[in-house]
Structure 1
Amino acid sequence: MKPKTRQAIDCSRCRDRKYVFINQKGKVRAEECSCFECKICEGSRRIFEETPEGISKIRECECNSLIKKITLFNQAGVPGKFVHEEFSSYSVDPPQHRTQKNALLHSKKFIEDYVARKGQYSQGLIFMGAPGLGKTHLVVSIIKELVMQNGVECKFVDFFELLRDIRHGYGEDISEKEFIDPYVGVQVLVIDELAKGRNTDWELTILDHFISARYNDDDKVTLVTTNFRDKLEKPAAYSNRNEKQSLSDAYQKYSLEEKIGARIYSRLMEMCKKVNLEGKDYRHIQP
């Protein structure tokens, strides 16, 4: 069997995608690569045509679809530290656990199903597992592909940081609604670090609003990452831990349902398919 011949790449910067990702002011942004040039419209993004009746018309050039996708991606709010995260950079080779390879396959299958169904009645994913297994890497990769390849509206929100912004907004007379609305109505929403923090009654009320609004809308899909599992394998000892340690290791002490409550948990499980990850924290694996 002859080996497959690799197709030559004309632009090493974008690998012929015609766009690149950069970290700008703490957010991942997409921009046109310097190699992007349309020979049809010569950069005007418009084409002048004349009908058989002699009427002049202007129509949008096909190259403008990339500009629209770039604009859409730059509204997604992906944190800048994930500028290089894509499916191609997600490692599934040893010593990575087999569940991480399964998670990668689930992520790609989700995109395939979402695009095929045009977003209707698609089930989201909830990635569950300890820190450092690549959960956020996968959801960011999904966003990049959905937006840049398929023009799907997506937004990324770190729920813990959103709560902090809402608290800060109270002092500036900014309502919760102004912070929440941009996320509630988006086609695909990524909620990162679900259940992080103390999960007070106020925090759970905000989360309930998020989940309930999307639960009742068939064409809205939610992707979630959390360090908490649906079941605990064994209880952890916490008697000698200080508060900071207890919060950071809480995923070993509580299940997700215990953290967010039965109502929110039940709806989330109906909205999303569970993807459990196991393995070692990549930050602790020596190269």
Structure 2
Amino acid sequence: MSLSDKHMKVLITGANGQLGYALQKTAPAVIGAGKMLLQLIPVARTEFDLAQPESLLARLDTYQPDAIINAAAYTAVDKAEANQELAQCINATAVSVIAQWCEQKKIPLIQVSTDFVFDGKKSSPYQPDDKTNPLGVYAQTKLAGELAALENCSTSYIVRTGWVYCEHGANFVKTMLRLAAERETLGVVADQVGTPTYAIHLAQMIWQLLVQRPTQKIFHCSDAGVASWYDFAVAIFAEAKAVGLLEKVPHVKPIATSDYPTPAQRPFYSVLDKQITWSILGISPCHWQSAVASMLAAYKKQQI
């Protein structure tokens, strides 16, 4: 690592996505015990295309980062069922290329993964070392990406998360706000349970991980508490009305997953256990309902 100029260059892939935005927004000015100035290299798909793994090494040699946060992924869960080759390329093959480069340079790689690596048959929060069993193509390729990072780079970390939303980009919260303006009644799935994750909190956790570099390799990160998509929607509408983003709250009707069939099978239960993350990184957890309030307040400011 070349740090003679007291700069630490961190490459952020998927820079235009929700997490990419949040990582840039929450980046510390200085990082580590050496108080190095943090220099971000945010790259979008046009500059760093994981669908073309053969092009990545030349880009990495040009950027010469001191750490990489891979926040880019093929995340279209249902479309992945018909696009297995592309999902595998972006979520696993490209990760292998990046991880090998990081290993050669002895720099850390933070690979962002998903709660969908679990099959949802458990009834208590998933621990980082619990057995994985992905149900669909998206989940299978993300697990392959985890293994590619861990097997090819001794300085890699896996951060599993789920139900991510932010004031930037497309997500469930914004979809609910749009539908609330269009409909009086909404059916929302009530038998899939997980935990919403505010991208800002996820980004803050990742920066903390990069600073501390613990021996633990796999981390779980979402906000505190548990919710179904139905619970999430009800909270969004209540908070949106409270802050003046909605005049009228629609009637929310709980529905079953079977009432809303999708190409990809999803886990019914994907709550992640974050105790290790909070303990090792010294994080004070925020309940997901408080996080929704924070996001909607930030979103409202953007609308003014």
Computing the radius of gyration over CA atoms, which structure comes out larger, 1 or 2? 1
TM-score of the two chains, using structure 2 as the length reference: 0.32
